[in-house]
Structure 1
Amino acid sequence: MSISIQNLTKQYGSQKAVDNLSFEIPKGQIVGFLGPNGAGKSTTMKILTGYLNASSGQAFVNALNVAEEPLAVQGKIGYLPEHNPLYLEMYVKEFLGFVAELYGLKAAECKKRIAEVIEEVGLEREQHKKIGQLSKGYRQRVGLAQALIHKPDVLILDEPTTGLDPNQLVEIRQLIKNAGKDKTVILSTHIMQEVESICERAIIIHKGKIVADEKIEALKTRGESMEELFKKVTLG
């Protein structure tokens, strides 16, 4: 399994942000990770990346225990947080070179990989600009580029299309879909149509627990929309 979460719990005082959560994602699957605000989505993703420690339970990426081998895990994943943290005064190519070096890419490989990822995410015309000069849509492309620069096996995307206009939405969704052809992708979103258009499977959590785990194809066969399922399992 690319991702395996076993009895994961994250507690803040008396409140459980994640409550005994378990699921697995096989290699090559694109999964929508859904839930109302405060359901535990971002917390789960941060635990998967090694950014947060779990209170109990275990998380694995490519059979590596996140708590025991965080650096090895971080080399296997590409992460785009909800609030895309970019250095606005850096130029696009400069920033991607900085990230590539952090991942240990050698100079010749680094130059080649920067060119590849710029083409991959459609940043050719923006590559010589400062990040602060870019629109939100292009900043998201830079965020995706930094997540892809080291050719990770797993992509973890937290609200990757928030605040984008309709044209940008279509373009970023296609980029994610293309990236998912040879990677495992887990993405959180509040946009139900996004899940139906990009994902093969949806996991819905509510109050830190899984309330639905469905293949999108099975949902369509039943004639049920993602929005209908979401309302049913989160509103009762």
Structure 2
Amino acid sequence: MVEVDCLTKYYGGFAAIQDVTFSAEPGQVLGFLGPNGAGKTTTMRILTGYMPASSGTAQVAGYDVFEESREVRRRIGYLPETPPVYPEMTPRSYLDFVSRIKGVTKRERPEAIEHAMAATQSLDVGNQPIGTLSRGYKQRVAIAQALVHNPEVLILDEPTIGLDPKQIIEIRNLIRGLAEDRTVILSTHILPEVTQLCDKVVIIAQGQIVAEEDLGMGGATEDLEAFFLKVTAHDAVELNVVDPTVPSNSTEVEAGEDTSGVSDMMHDSETEGTE
């Protein structure tokens, strides 16, 4: 379970997020929806321990994000918007590397790697250099690194950005399966991502939560679009209301918010690389 209460982050005098409050239950897919620049990535990076908050509290699986950050990181799997993969490594060698950093023991490591690759349907490319894989398979490997230590909470920041329609459908189906036994938080600016995947939506605009609603699976995009336009006013023009899996005259995919690179994911390397 994830509980966030009054999170605020200032950059100088600018409030990137202010009084952000929401919760996500086990087995639930929560959509964190907002225009580009609304504060989604800032919130996700605070939750995963890569950025301090100015004020407020957050708990993951009963552990305080700020006071018990090591315990929180053991229980969170994080996919940043820029997947942290090394092109010269194979998926197997990469996942072995990540599992050591995340404290998976030597005895548990082979099974953990196999499980993560099976869950992301990437076993068939396990020994190929990551740089030779399609973008869709690279994203599967990136999701596998978030799963390799079997976290209770999975946080995905714009997981389908830059993928083609077929790859988007495959990743969405994959996410549905992963949500069966853990909490999933999906940060996105794409409406159909929320309507097709999420049980609940939290809408953020200009750094503040403006709405929180329960959703039925397969909810109507039109209803959520109208609701979003109502509560976000002038920011709503930045929302992607077109499903990228549906053919159209434009193939351009919108860019997301601030990216998080390899160094962010690896900054906790001082943690237990247990043999």
Separation (CA, whole Å) in 2 of partners of 1:219 and 1:86: 32
- 2:113 is the alignment partner of 1:114: yes
More deviation, 128-137/39-48? 128-137
Q: Distance in 2 between matches of 1:125 and 1:23?
A: 39
Structure-1 separation of matches of 2:132 and 2:219: 42
Secondary structure class of the residue paired with 1:45: helix
1:124 paired to 2:145: no
Counterpart-to-counterpart distance in 1, 2:165 and 2:9: 35
TM superposition score normalised by structure 2: 0.82
1:193 aligns with 2:192: yes
Unpaired segments ≥5 residues, structure 1: none
Counterpart in 2 of 1:50? 49
Partner of 1:182: 181
Greater CA deviation, 211-220 or 144-153?
211-220
CA RMSD of aligned residues (A): 1.7
Moved segments of 4+, more than 6 Å: none
- Aligned pairs, how many? 234
Report the equivalent of 1:84.
83
Deviation of 1:218 after TM superposition, in Å, equals 9.9
Residues 88 and 130, structure 1, Cα contact 8 Å, conserved in 2: yes
SS at match of 2:203: strand
CA contact (8 A) 2:3 2:22 kept: yes
Map 1:198-217 onto structure 2 (within 5 A): 198-217=197-216
In the TM superposition, residue 226 of structure 1 has moved relative to its aligned partner by 2.1
Partners of 1:19 and 1:218 lie apart in 2 by: 29
Alignment of 1:118-157 (within 5 A): 118-157=117-156
- Provide the residue aligned with 1:231 in structure 2: 229
Q: Report the equivalent of 2:266.
A: none
CA shift, 1:220, in A, is 4.5
| Shift in Å, 1:225 | 2.3
Tell me, in whole angstroms, the C-alpha distance in 1 between the residues paired with 2:218 and 2:136: 30
- State the 1:91 CA deviation: 1.1
